[in-house]
Amino acid sequence: MELKQLAGDRDLYDVMRRQKRRQKVIDAKTAKAYKTDRAQTQSSGYVFDIINRKLSSRKTGCSSSL
């Protein structure tokens, strides 16, 4: 029903093809955003691991250099 409303006087096939193209673009943007967000999360996790190791060694009295 939505496609018929979007199509109006045009061919329904053209509207479906255009809608698929738009969906591909949206999917690509979403995948790219997820990938960059995932990379940032992993890289920031490394920093916190270093801090945690440094603090945990101070609590136990062990000294280790990074």
Encode the chain (66 residues) as per-residue pLDDT tens digits.
576 676 776 777 888 899 999 999 999 999 999 988 887 776 666 777 778 888 887 666 555 555
Instruction: Give per-residue burial for 29-65: e unless 16+ CB within 10 Å, then b.
Output: eeeeeeeeeeeeeeeeeeeeeeeeeeeeeeeeeeeee
User: What is the predicted pLDDT for the residue at 3?
Assistant: 66
DSSP string, 41-59: HHHHHHHHHHHHHHHHHHH
- Taking the whole predicted model, whether its pTM rises above 0.85 is answered as no
CB 4 within 8 A of CB 12: yes
